[in-house]
Every structure is written in C-alpha cells, then in structure tokens.
Chain A
Amino acid sequence: MTEPILEVSGLTKFFGAVAASDVLTFAVERGSIHGLIGPNGAGKSTTIAQLSGELRPDAGRIRFAGTDISAWPVHRRAHAGLQRSYQITSLFPDFTAAENVALAVQARQGHSFRFLAPAREIPSLREPALAVLGRLGLAAKADVPASRLGHGEQRQLELAMVLATRPKMLLLDEPTAGMSRTESRRMMGILRPLKGKVTILLVEHDMDVVFALADAITVLVKGKAIITGPPADVRANENVRRAYLGNY
C-alpha cells in the first residue's frame, strides 16, 4: 500500500462545550473516494473547514501528500492541490460561469500581477474554462452570470471551478445538497469517472450516493470517528446502525 494522501490525527475543535471534532483521526488513500458521513451536526463541515485551513483546530495535525500542512494558510493548501466545495454554494455571483472558472484557472497558473491584458480574451484562461464547463454540461451557460443560474447549475459550476484548478484532492461538502433526484444522479455521473484520478473526501447525506461511490467510509458522531472502513463493513457495523443508520 502506498502512503495515504491525507492523514488527520487528533483533530480537535470545540465550540464552547460542543465538540465539533473530538480527537478525530483518519486517513484517505490516494485516488480513492472516501465518504464522510454522520448525522446533522456531527462535525462534517467543521472537519472540511479545518482541512482547508478556514477554521483553526484547537489541536491535532494534518498531513497532505507527505507534508505537514497544519500551519498553512488557506490559499497555500489550495494551491498545493487540496481544494474544497461548500455545502452552501459559494461563487462569484456577478461573474459569468466562464469567468468563474477562468478565475480558478488563474489561481492554478500562479500569480495574477498582470495588469494590462484583458483577462477575458486570454486563450490560456478561457479555453480550459470552457473545456471544464463542457465536461460538466454547462457549455451553453458559459456567458450567463452565475447569479442567474439555477440551483443545480450553480452546484455544478462550483464543481467546475474546483476541477479547473486540477486538484490532487477534493473536499466536497454535500455536493448534491438541495438537488433533485435527476440532478443528483447527474452529479454522481460526474464524480464517478474521477475515481483513480483525483482523491475525493465526500461528505454526503444521500446514503445511496455514498455507498455507490465510496471506496471507504468514515462515520462521524459528535465529532468522533466511530468507524473507518469499506462500505460493506460500515453497513454491517452494529455501532453505526445504532448511532446513525437507524435514523434512516
């Protein structure tokens, strides 16, 4: 086995008396889709925010691609290939879909201290942006402002942005949140082919999606990882049934 791409050890975060991460430890194998599930308020979004650097843990270490990134700021982690999406869609509402993605391409290309050339006419920004939009079925919407896209399209656009950065690993916080069944299935169709190319930590409330896609699953309850293992083991686990799946 190769070294895991992401290793989380002893991650701890309290909001007052509420434990959002309680000495959380798990690892994600390179190239896998790793599900992170748990009841509402279990601490899934908080975990992602600590991995991306937006939230500072009280304690614990994070290793990514062999390096300790615990002290890195958000942009540095992202630039190193650890990209995230948000449970509540987060876009640049006044920019068109193509401009949103082009900005992501720009982020990958290095610094943006270029002051004169019109960004919208630079082929090395626009072409990759259109290519990613095409892959996600948004080609027709390239020049529509993000704020005027439908909810499902906005979710897809957000995924297009993170993919355009050519990430090593994606942290996806409920990518199908608020989507219809058809849109949800479409999203699965987008994620499945990524398996083996991009590592994905997938937070998802739709169990069908998780169990269909994931190679391994971590179950979070009150900030604690009660089990990490292959889907079959997790499904069979008595603790999981009692603590969580019973709700479904």
Chain B
Amino acid sequence: MSAPPRRKQVVNLTGLLVLLALPPAAFALGEPFLISVATRIVIAALAALSLDLILGFGGMVSFGHAAFLGIGAYVVGILAHHDVESTLIPFLPGAWHGSAAALVQWPLAVLAAALFALLTGALCLRTSGVYFIMVTLAFAQMLYHFFVSLPAYGGHDGINLWQRSMVPGVDLSKDWVFYYVCLFILLAALAVFSRIVNSRFGMVLQGCKQNEARLAALGIATGRYKLAAYTLAGAIAGLAGALTANQTEFVGPSLMHWSRSGEILVMLILGGIGTLYGAVAGAATFLALEEILTSLTEHWMLFLGPILVFVVLFARRGIYGWLVGPESGDD
C-alpha cells in the first residue's frame, strides 16, 4: 500500500538501466560476447522468476523446474527439426511439418510446459514438504530419461538447430536483437508477476506459504490455487526454455538434468526469495560468478559448493535483500 521505499526504487532503476545499456556498452568495450552472457542471465532470470512465484510466494519447494525449461526447448527444437527436414511430426492427429515461426513455436512451448505442469502438479501437490521436493525431482528426472532414450530426437545428443525462431520484421539471429527481445519478455513477466503476487490470487498464494491449514479452515480450497500457480510457473519456465533453445541453438536432455533445477533454485536463493527482483539479481550473480570462477580454475565447483553452503547457513536474505536494505516492504 505504501510507496516502495526510495532505496528499492534506486536499486531497481539502476538494474534496469544496466540491462538496457548492456549491448551498446559491450560493443563500445569491444567485448560483444558479453551480450550472450547477458542473454543467458536474462533467460535464467525469467526461469528463476517463475520459480519464485511458487517457492517464494507459495512456499512450494520445487526441485524439478528444469523439466519445464526442457519441454519448452524441445517444442522449439522438434518443430524446427521437422520444419527443416520437411518430415511429419509423429503421433499427431493431423499431418504437420512443424514450423520455424516464433509465433507458433513459443506459444506451443508455453502450452506444452503448462500442460506438463498441470498434470504432474496435480500429483505432486497431493504431497507436501519433503515429499514434494522428492516428487518434483523425480518427475523431472523421468522426463530427462525419456528424452535420453528417444532416438528420434537425438537421444543423449539432442538436436542442433539451424537457426533461431523466425519473427516477421525482427532478425533474431543478431545477438543484440535477441537480447532485447529476451529482456522485453523478462520485464513484461516481472510487471505481470508483481501484479499477480499482490492480487487476491497472490494473497491466497502467500497465505498458503504462511499457514495453509488456516486458509482451508477459512473456507478456501487451497489446492486449486497452488495448482494454478504451479501451472503458471511451468508455463513461464517453458517460455524461458524456448528462449534457451534459441540462445544456444541446441536442444538436449542436459537442459533438464537435475543439476539444472538445482542451479535455478540456487540463483533464486542467492538473489533472495519472495522478492521477484531477487531472481534477476541471483541469476546475474550466479552466472557472473560462474564466468569468473571458470576463468580462474577448471574446478570452480570446488569453490561454488562451499559458497552455497555458506550462503544457506549465514546469508538467507540474498543479494537483493542486502541491496535494498532492511525495510524493503514485502512485495
């Protein structure tokens, strides 16, 4: 209700300016590869943001988020693959040769991920607590194994894409253009999510995290709200997956390896859960840390692991919480 504190506005605005100014700055510095790092950050932030909706606000600790990214990516990959080879997509009622158009690929990616989230979520949400963590992890692993043993789409090796998705009048093959498209999507998602978490739906979702039994005792059927949030999170993660496929021009089971789910979780915790913007700060920190540590040593995980343990044990508010200071409001 009250206006967000000044410091928070300053932090958010600075972040926005940095993100907007990045491509020209990268060109000016003669380091255009920075754009692709920044694109990875923006896409990872979108994935972490979708996780924040269910984890940070709904209290659902999902350890299978990479599954949704994988589905989104595979939808793009499979449609592009059949489009290039001009072959029919099997097991479809009609005859369809796929498509290279983003306006076809991306909505279908979102839809497929949402559907998977709806189906597995209905099962996962029959459980809670530690069971929920294990079940989400297991369903993601199921999908991983499914694609590994699917020879039609490259099995372990996945599919290499010929080109990025086609958008009329926009040349996504230019890295800076693709970056701005990703950034636009991230900002739109941030805007929509910050409305959602404070809406009536959002209040119920936050109530689920704080005291689900009380919500039920007040007369609210919590299950369907959690499932709706889970599905929405899956859909957005699916979109992040579609963008990932475009960024790397490759789709493979490694995208939904369990450690990917772990990384998204780590980004979110690093940035600060339940803040939305923390997802962006976390993705940036994690990937920057990865870039820096890999340039120092091949065995960077040797350092990242203990850093993570340390953050969990001693620094739970995350980077964003630390940036905006103690009186950060709660949205």
Instruction: Report A's interface with B, CB cutoff 8 A.
Output: 52, 54, 73-76, 78-79, 83-84, 90-95, 99, 102-104, 106-108, 112-122, 125, 143, 161-162, 165
Contacts and interface: CB of A to CB of B under 8 A. Distances in A.
30 contacts: A54-B216, A75-B216, A75-B218, A75-B219, A83-B217, A83-B219, A90-B214, A90-B217, A92-B206, A92-B207, A93-B210, A95-B203, A99-B203, A102-B203, A106-B200, A106-B204, A107-B219, A112-B225, A114-B199, A114-B200, A114-B201, A115-B201, A116-B199, A117-B199, A117-B200, A118-B195, A119-B200, A119-B202, A120-B198, A122-B200
Contacts of A122: 200
Most buried by B among A83, A84, A106: A106
Nearest to B208: A92
Most buried by A among B196, B206, B217: B217
Interface in B1-26: 1
A6 B200 CA distance: 32
B195 A103 contact: no
A108 B215 CA distance: 11
Contacts, number: 104
A78 B196 contact: no
Contacts of A73: 216, 221
Contacts of B218: 75, 78, 83, 103-104, 107, 161-162, 165
A165 B215 CA distance: 12
Contact of B219 (A108, A115, A118): A108
Given A75-B222, A92-B210, A115-B196, A84 B217 contact: yes
Contacts of A103: 203-204, 207, 215, 218
Contacts of A91: 211, 214
A123 B211 CA distance: 24
B167 interface: no
Contacts of B222: 75
A78 B220 CA distance: 8
Interface string B174-210: 0000000000000000000001101111111011001
B330 interface: yes
Interface of B: 1, 195-196, 198-204, 206-207, 210-211, 213-222, 225, 228, 330
Contacts of A92: 206-207, 210-211, 214
Contacts of A165: 218-219
Contacts of A118: 195, 198-199
